[in-house]
Amino acid sequence: MTQGRLVQGYLARMAPAHECVVREIVTRGDRLRSSPLSRLDEGIFVRELEHALLRGEIDIAVHSLKDLPTAIPSGLTIAAIPARANPQDVVVTRDGAPLSALNPGSVVGTSSLRRRAQLLALRSDLTVEELRGNVDTRISKLKEGRYDAIIAAAAGLIRLGLEGVITEYLPLDRWLPAPAQGALGIEAREGDDELLEIIGKIDDPNTRACVSAERSLMQGIGAGCQAPLSAFAKTDGDRVSMDAAITSLDGTQSVAWSDAASSAEAEGLGKVMAERLLAMGGRRILEEIRGND
C-alpha cells in the first residue's frame, strides 16, 4: 500500500490532469504467512494483481520488482521502473550491536534463502530461523525477544519511515542484494497507449538498464526470486556493470563474477553472466539445493 501511494504521488506530479486511486488487493502470498517463502510458488505476491489487470478491474499494478517473475503474462508489460531506492540489505538488532558483534548462537530471522546463505558465509556460528509477516510484525517479533536480529531490505524500511530502527547497512562490496531489490515495477496492459504514455513519464532509464541486467541474469540462471542468487548492477555513462554470486544454503560454497557492457546490451550482459556463473559451479550448487527439497 505504501508503494502504491508512492507511485500515486509520482503520477500526481507528472500527470496532474489524471486522477489516480489506490486499490488494495490481498494476494495469496499475503494470506499464507505461516509457510516459508522458499516453499511458496513463484509469483505468489503478484498473480492476483495481474489477473485484475487482465480483467480490466485495475489499470496499473505496483510491484516490488524483485518479487515479479521474469516471465510476464501475455498482454501485460512493465510500463515503468521509477528511480531505484537504496538496494542494500540492513541488519536490525535488539541491542543495537552490529552483525560482527552478535554472540555465537544468536538467532537471526529472515525469510530469504539468499540472506540465509550470505549470513552463514559470514557468520557460520549464528542460528538462522524463518521470519514471516509484514515489516511491523517482523520488528515486533524482534522486540519481543524471539530473535536477536533480523535482516531486511533498506528500501522497505525507508519507505515506511522506519529508517531509525536500522542498526547497520550491509555494504554492497561484501553483501549483494537480490536482483532488482529496491526497484518498483509498474505493470500495465499492452496496447493501452494513452495510459502507457502517462506512466512512461516516471520511468528511469538508468534503473531500467540495471534491473534489466539483473532480471536477465535471474532468468538465465533459471532461479526464482527465492534462490540464493545475488546481483547488483550500476551505470556509469552509457555502460552498465554488474556483480553477481550464487551461494550454497550453508554458506560454504560460492561462485561470483563481475562484468560490464553498454546499457543497450544490459539484457545480454545478464545472459552472459548467467552462463558464466553456472559453468563456474553455480549449476552444481543449485542442483544440490533442488535435490534436498
The three cell numbers locating residue 259:
562484468
d(CA 212, CA 147): 35
Is residue 254 one of the residues assigned to a domain? yes
Residues 103 and 210 in one domain: no
Residues 245 and 122 in one domain: no
Residues 198 and 208 in one domain: no
d(CA 111, CA 71): 23
Is residue 96 one of the residues assigned to a domain? yes
At residue 26, the pLDDT reads 78
Domain boundary among 169, 193, 227: 169
Is residue 107 one of the residues assigned to a domain? yes
Residues 93 and 58 in one domain: no
Residues 75 and 185 in one domain: yes
Q: Identify the CATH number of the domain in which residue 238 sits.
A: 3.30.160.40
SS3 251: coil
Q: What share of the chain is helix, strand, coil (3-state, %, to 5)?
A: 40, 20, 40
- 67 is annotated as an active-site residue: yes
Residues 143 and 282 in one domain: no
Task: State pLDDT tens for residues 153-197.
Answer: 999 999 999 999 999 999 999 999 999 999 999 999 999 999 999
At residue 226, the pLDDT reads 66
Which amino acid is located at 172 in the chain?
L
Is residue 151 one of the residues assigned to a domain? yes
At residue 29, the pLDDT reads 56
* Average pLDDT rounded to a whole number, residues 75-90: 97
Residue partners of 229: CB distance under 8 A and separation at least 6 = 114, 178, 179, 217, 218, 221, 223, 244, 245, 246
At residue 40, the pLDDT reads 47
Residues 81 and 98 in one domain: no
Is residue 106 one of the residues assigned to a domain? yes
As a whole number of Å, the end-to-end CA separation of the chain is: 33
Task: State pLDDT tens for residues 12-60.
Answer: 888 888 888 988 887 665 555 554 545 545 566 788 889 999 999 999 9
At residue 212, the pLDDT reads 97
| CB of 229 closer than 8 Å to CB of 100 | no
Identified catalytic residue from 30, 59, 67, 259: 67
Give the chain's domain count: 3
Range of the domain at 56: 1-85+181-203
Q: Identify the CATH number of the domain in which residue 9 sits.
A: 3.40.190.10
Is residue 174 one of the residues assigned to a domain? no
Is residue 175 one of the residues assigned to a domain? no
Q: Give the number of other Cβ atoms within 10 Å of residue 128's Cβ.
A: 21
Is residue 194 one of the residues assigned to a domain? yes
Residue 256 or 223, more confident: 256
At residue 30, the pLDDT reads 59
| CB of 212 closer than 8 Å to CB of 204 | no
Which amino acid is located at 233 in the chain?
A
Residues 7 and 114 in one domain: no
At residue 224, the pLDDT reads 67
Pairing of strands 127-129, 107-109: parallel
Residues 66 and 98 in one domain: no
Residues 143 and 212 in one domain: no
At residue 157, the pLDDT reads 95
At residue 196, the pLDDT reads 95
Residues 42 and 157 in one domain: no
pTM: 0.90
Residues 222 and 284 in one domain: yes
d(CA 172, CA 224): 21
At residue 158, the pLDDT reads 95
